[in-house]
Amino acid sequence: MIADLKPVSTVPSDSFIFTSGKGKSIKGQITELSVPIPCRIRLFEKSGGKLIADVSTDQLGNYEFDHLTQIKCFIVAHHPTSKFNAVIQDNVVPK
């Protein structure tokens, strides 16, 4: 099961970020030392730093952000026990 996209309520559904259909998506898996881990993932718009969505992965670390247009983003993954600093993936583009 892949985490459902739930836009943060304080972020308006800007037409340049979201589409009414499934649109483009960003998906992946979070691992620690090659072992999948569940954690919190945040998706931000790159140009302005606006928070687009905040989700939790499934138990196998899988996530998916969908209903997106072609924008540049960055993703922040937070370690579930705060054992490590957050990991950032930059220049992510929906496909």
* pLDDT tens string 16-75: 676 667 789 999 999 999 999 999 999 999 999 999 999 999 999 999 998 888 889 999
Say what the pLDDT of residue 16 is. 60
| Average pLDDT for 85-93 | 89
Q: Is 35 left (phi over 0), alpha (psi -120 to 50) or beta?
A: beta
pTM attached to this predicted model: 0.75
Say what the pLDDT of residue 5 is. 45
What is the distance of C-alpha 23 from the center of its chain? Answer: 15
Taking CA 44 as the corner, what is the angle to CA 72 and CA 12, rounded to the nearest 5 degrees?
Answer: 105
Enumerate domains of the chain plus CATH numbers. 24-92 (2.60.40.10)
User: How many angstroms separate the first and last alpha carbons of the chain?
Assistant: 20
